[in-house]
Amino acid sequence: MISKSRLLKGIAAVTGAAFCAGAFTGCAWLRKPREWGACTAVGALAGAGAGAASGIAIVDRTHGKSESTHDTRTYAGIAGAGTGAILGGIAGHFICDPEVPPPPPPPPPPPPPPPPPPPPPPPPKKEKLVLRGVHFDFNKSKIRPGDAAILDEAADTLKSHTNVNVYVDGYCDAIGSEEYNLKLSQRRADAVAGYLEGKGIPSSQLIPRGFGKTNFVADNETDEGRAQNRRVELKPTD
């Protein structure tokens, strides 16, 4: 009569062999993660029934049905059922239990921040417009022939700077009354503005002003100084 320990060792050896075979033949298959579900339970039940029947059949064939005691067959059936349940559950699990879905891919990294905008261009350098003025004979507001070339040059400059407005400022020397010199300086400013308008400069670009005997640039005690003070200056408004 077979002993319980020998029976259990034999069934354990069969179970171990089954696990080893599965490990060597189904590594990639077994590595797939799956959820434990209904297929595991169905496989365990089917394996338990088949294992119990196989355990009893093995005992009967080995020692003969007449020599096998009730206890031996019971232990063989229980051991076979346990082994079959384990193997059947594992088989059912890996055969039809749903695979664990892989984790979603990590979100893509945020795009790099846009480069800073380029610095604004420097403001255009303002051109300093220099216009030469003219001088007048004593007590006169008529433009002298020798000064026409200076005003022609000023007209050409203003034609290329149509957005520039110009003060046309007239002055006198210290001889005479303030009221008379104020009117004389205005006539001188008007004369220069009229000459420039005749050269194509719009009147809206010219602002004639008379300042009389003020803002002297030279000494009025000499003829040369007074001649320098009898003048019209052209000054851009900005």
What tens digit of pLDDT does each residue of 156-179 get?
999 999 889 999 999 999 999 999
Q: Quote the CA–CA distance of 41 and 36 in Å, as a whole number.
A: 9
| Percentage of the chain modeled with pLDDT above 70 | 70
Distances (CA, A) of 156 to 146, 152, 180: 17, 6, 33
Q: What is the pLDDT of residue 3?
A: 46
Q: What is the pLDDT of residue 56?
A: 67
Average pLDDT, the chain: 80
pTM of the predicted model as reported, rounded to 2 decimal places: 0.49
For residues 126-130, give the mean pLDDT: 66
**Lookup: tokens for 194:** 């009229």
Q: What is the CB neighbour count within 10 angstroms for residue 48?
A: 22
> Residue 148 pLDDT more than 60?
yes
Phi and psi, residue 99, nearest 5°:
-70, 145
* pLDDT grade for 208, boundaries at 50, 70 and 90: very high
Give the residue, 230 or 80, on which the prediction is more confident.
230
> Residue 197 pLDDT more than 80?
yes
What tens digit of pLDDT does each residue of 21-34 get?
444 444 555 667 77
What tens digit of pLDDT does each residue of 180-196 get?
999 999 999 999 999 99
What tens digit of pLDDT does each residue of 101-126 get?
888 899 999 999 999 999 998 887 66
